[in-house]
Amino acid sequence: MSRSLPPLQALRALEAAARHRSFSRAAEELHLTHSAISHHLRALESELGVELFRRAGSRMMPTAAGAQLADRVRRSLDDLRSALDATRPGENGAVRLELSVMSDFASAWLIPRLGDFYDRHPNVDLSLRMHADPLPPDPYPYDIGIWYRRIEERGFQIRKLLDDWVVAVCSPALLARHPGATLDDLPAMPLLRFARRSWRDFFDAAGLAGDEPERGPIFDDAGLLLQATVAGQGVATARLQLARDFIERGELVQLGQVRIPAMLDYYFTWREGHPREAAILQFYRWVKAQLAA
């Protein structure tokens, strides 16, 4: 006679608590109270006859048994979601993929090219979720992630997308207000500030004695920084891959030939053995081909 399974809510509480190392954060995610999470986990420990969590300072750390069970529950829940998605196909039978992507990469590079992807792969629908924090989000809710950093979770495929360079760019209108300006004149021009990059590194590479600007807006999103640069508000340092389309359209001009390595990379991430891996690989190969072009 087969044993009955614990309640699904208890298994979800286990998975979320192990992932967050916190009953409170698990409660927030599942829209439950802290006491409800505690109750579910105590009941699960009683049923299984093992300790699943131990307190370590302010964190609730899963025991070896708790971590192992949480990992298997996580995979089972993912498989269940995938099975439900397969049973409930997207519009016109398309495969739907949840994509979490850095907002700058999405606005400056990905979105203008998506029409080509849909023309080539009409069977795939992408649901985009913008991400701005340099640290990756929890990877489990998404089919694909394009983030600045590698994730530390086990069971994921991670591919570096490109090596990139940072250059100085401005609009033709701004350059017209500084006729004959060259890279040597850069420190005297209006400079736009980016929260994740200092002008100092670029000045050093160019052999210039300029100082970091002390006034003016500070952008924490490279896509917005490029918009301000196109609008003629100042000179910016920008990733060449993100600025390339603007340069080719004549909306931006590269000042000089000095370039420095980009400090942050982009990584393409998906879960190993994903049931929709064929569609994920279609998107990955398309992204790589577009970047190579």
> Cα(219)–Cα(38) distance, rounded to whole angstroms?
42
Tens digits of per-residue pLDDT, 94-120?
Answer: 888 999 999 999 999 999 999 999 999
Does residue 91 surpass a pLDDT of 60?
Answer: no
Q: pTM higher than 0.75, yes or no?
A: no
pLDDT average, residue stretch 63-67: 91
Closest CA to 176 of 189, 167, 161: 189
Q: For residue range 181-238, what is the model confidence (pLDDT) as tens digits?
A: 888 888 889 999 999 888 999 999 989 887 788 888 899 899 999 999 999 999 999 9
Q: Which of 19-23, 73-77, 193-197, 228-232 bottoms out in mean pLDDT, i.e. has the lowest?
A: 73-77
pLDDT above 60 (res 1): no
Q: From the CB of residue 218, how many other CB atoms can be counted at a distance below 10 Å?
A: 10
Q: What is the pLDDT of residue 273?
A: 85
Res 92: pLDDT: 57
Q: Could you give the domains of the chain?
A: 8-76 (1.10.10.10), 89-162+265-292 (3.40.190.10), 169-248 (3.40.190.10)
Residue 87 has pLDDT above 60, yes or no: no
Q: CA 13, CA 62: separation in Å to the nearest integer?
A: 12
pLDDT reported for residue 138: 86
- Whether the per-residue pLDDT at 89 is higher than 60: the answer is no
